[in-house]
Amino acid sequence: MEAPEERSGSMVLRAWLEGGEPDALRVRILSTIGTTEARQLAVTSPEAVLEAVRNWLEDLGSGPMTFS
């Protein structure tokens, strides 16, 4: 019996407040899965960061995942 292929990836988030203002969140996201070229994304809200992380985890798992 063969072991299932292991999938791995990485995600790096760089966050800062533009001009030091509390409502000026900026987040640059770099992510990759396996040997694919890194994807880049820029977002400006905590909700968009959460969505990007969720999408990346689902891509890594090749389908919808349940988080608690």
- pLDDT tens, 28-47? 999 999 888 999 999 999 99
Give Cα separations from 52 to 9, 29, 64 (angstroms).
Answer: 14, 8, 13
| CB neighbours of residue 39 within 10 Å | 14
Residue 66 has a pLDDT of 56
| Whether 34 contacts 7, CB under 8 Å | yes
Burial (CB < 10 A; 0-12, 13-18, 19+), residue 6, is exposed
Residue 14 has a pLDDT of 98
Residue 29 has a pLDDT of 98
Ranges of residues in the chain with a pLDDT under 70 are: 1-5, 63-68
State the pTM of this model: 0.78
Phi, psi dihedrals of residue 38, rounded to the nearest 5°: -60, 140
Residue 50 has a pLDDT of 97
